[in-house]
């Protein structure tokens, strides 16, 4: 990742014909050779943002800059950007070679050069020897690789990926994640990746852009987003969370679940109502008599590495990840370290 800004979105808004605003006030700078992920639930505007960068949609308001030049209105075929589409969008009438060669052949490149570049690209995505296969003879994972090769062979400055791994099974998805990261590092180009899978976003990205309802909620490194979510929505979307209503008495002291706790946050108004977010793995199970919160174990589910335990404490269902199992129906105590209590401003009601 370099310092210079490659793509810049300024006050982008998109309004559909029916008046529905799908994007509002999007401001974002993307650096050269960066791996940026747009993360959010479906309908949050992440794909629309990607389409604006690709040239398939025009913003109603705002400007988009590429390498310092304004590119509003520049059609897709004149942008030095290529896309890997959600459902691959391979050309069914062409074989693997011709699919990958499409962009170069449109540019009227020399046939021998095309053959060499396609061969190299198929090697990069581990599809050597598949040149003459029909598209419908390929598995989903192989089609995915062809789509990636077809985009990358044009040596774009930016590769857009619209939920490219959504249709693959878990094992294949993991492999392709590693593969994509390797390709991005070795070709040194900017990847802009769209997904609704938080784990994928955290694994692959240099920076994550969390979106909701056409707005950017938070931009940051995966560590930032996970450890310091700006609000309860981000916290909940990035991994499972316990979100409880709380009151901030004063700096470093918060009340929730009927108890006062020490915490590390400050800067709230006295007695401000806040969201308290606690990760399920941060809850320490202890004796009910000595712990500040106590409740009855409702269910225990084995998840492989940990047990997922639900505890009912005066009506609120706590989610706990613990390596130790508990008896269903047992009365247990819960505690949290000050550092693991995340205080968030209440989201404005829109």
Partner 1 sequence: MKNSIADNNKSKFQKILGTAPAFPYMAWAIVFIAIPLGLIVYFALTDSAGSFTIDNIARAGEHMSVLFRSIKLAAIATALCVVIAYPLAYIISRKQGFRRNTLVMLCMLPMWMNFLLRTYAWMTILENNGLINRLLMLLGFEPIRMINTQGAVILGMVYNYIPFMILPLYTIMSKIGNDVIEAAQDLGANSLEVIARVVLPLSLPGISSGITMVFVPSVSTFVISKMLGGGTNQLIGDIIDLQFLGNTYNPNLGSAISLVLMVVVLLCMSIMGDTEVETMGGRIR
Q: Considering the rule CB under 8 A, would residue 151 count as an interface residue with partner 1? A: yes
Q: Are 127 and 139 in contact (CB under 8 A)?
A: no
The reply on whether position 229 binds partner 1 by CB under 8 A is no
Question: Does 41 sit near partner 1 (CB under 8 A)?
Answer: no
Map the footprint of partner 1 across residues 49-68, applying CB under 8 A.
Answer: 54-56
User: CB of 192: closest distance to partner 1 in angstroms?
Assistant: 13
Of 2, 87, 185, 262, the residue at the interface with partner 1 (CB under 8 A) is 87
> Is residue 109 near partner 1 by the rule CB under 8 A?
no
Q: Are 1 and 34 in contact (CB under 8 A)?
A: yes
Binding segment (CB under 8 A) for partner 1, from list 42-50, 59-67, 86-94, 205-213: 86-94
* # chain residues binding partner 1, by CB under 8 A: 27
Give the count of beta carbons closer than 10 Å to the beta carbon of residue 62: 18
User: What CA–CA distance (Å, rounded) separates 147 from 94?
Assistant: 13
Ordered alpha helix ranges (H), 217-336: 222-227, 232-237
Give the integer Cα–Cα distance in Å for 311 and 329. 9
According to CB under 8 A, which residues from 112 to 141 bind partner 1?
134
- What residues contact residue 298 under an 8 Å CB cut-off, 6+ apart? 310, 311, 312, 317, 328
Return the range that interacts with partner 1 (CB under 8 A); candidates 14-22, 94-102, 112-120, 186-194.
Answer: 94-102
Q: By CB under 8 A, is residue 91 in contact with partner 1? A: yes
Q: Residue 16, interface with partner 1 (CB under 8 A)?
A: no
Question: Residue 188 burial (CB < 10 Å; 0-12/13-18/19+)?
Answer: exposed
Subset of 154-193 contacting partner 1 (CB under 8 A): 154
**Binding status of residue 22 toward partner 1 by CB under 8 A:** no
CA 308/CA 242 separation, integer angstroms: 13
Residues that bind partner 1 (CB under 8 A): 54-56, 75-77, 81-83, 85-87, 89-95, 102-103, 106-107, 134, 150-151, 154
């Amino acid at each position: 990742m370099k310092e210079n800004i490659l793509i810049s979105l300024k006050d982008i808004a998109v309004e559909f014909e029916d008046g529905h605003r799908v994007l509002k006030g999007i401001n974002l700078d993307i650096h050269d050779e960066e791996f940026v992920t747009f993360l959010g639930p479906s309908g949050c505007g992440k794909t629309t943002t990607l389409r604006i960068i690709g040239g398939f949609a025009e913003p109603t308001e705002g400007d988009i800059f590429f390498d310092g030049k304004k590119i509003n209105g520049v059609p897709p075929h004149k942008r030095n950007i290529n896309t890997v589409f959600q459902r691959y969008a391979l050309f069914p009438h062409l074989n693997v070679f011709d699919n990958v060669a499409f962009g170069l052949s449109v540019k009227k490149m020399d046939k021998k050069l095309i053959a060499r570049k396609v061969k190299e690209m198929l090697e990069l995505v581990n599809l050597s020897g598949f040149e003459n296969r029909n598209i419908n003879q390929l598995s989903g994972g192989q089609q995915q690789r062809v789509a990636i090769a077809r985009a990358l062979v044009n040596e774009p400055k930016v590769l857009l990926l619209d939920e490219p791994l959504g249709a693959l099974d878990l094992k294949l998805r993991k492999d392709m994640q590693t593969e994509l990261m390797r390709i991005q590092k070795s070709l040194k180009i900017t990847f802009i990746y769209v997904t609704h899978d938080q784990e994928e976003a955290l694994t692959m990205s240099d920076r994550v852009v969390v979106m909701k309802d056409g707005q950017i909620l938070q931009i940051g490194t995966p560590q930032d987003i996970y450890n310091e979510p700006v609000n309860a929505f981000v916290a909940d979307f990035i991994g499972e969370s316990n979100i409880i209503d709380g009151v901030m008495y004063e700096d470093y002291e918060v009340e929730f679940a009927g108890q006062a706790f020490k915490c590390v946050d400050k800067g709230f108004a006295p007695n401000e109502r806040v969201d308290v977010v606690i990760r399920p793995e941060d809850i320490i199970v202890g004796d009910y008599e000595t712990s500040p919160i106590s409740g009855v174990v409702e269910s225990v589910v084995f998840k492989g590495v940990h047990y997922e335990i639900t505890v009912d404490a005066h009506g609120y269902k706590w989610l706990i990840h613990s390596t130790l199992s508990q008896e269903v129906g047992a009365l247990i105590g819960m505690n949290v370290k000050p550092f693991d209590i995340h205080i968030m401003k209440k989201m404005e009601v829109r």
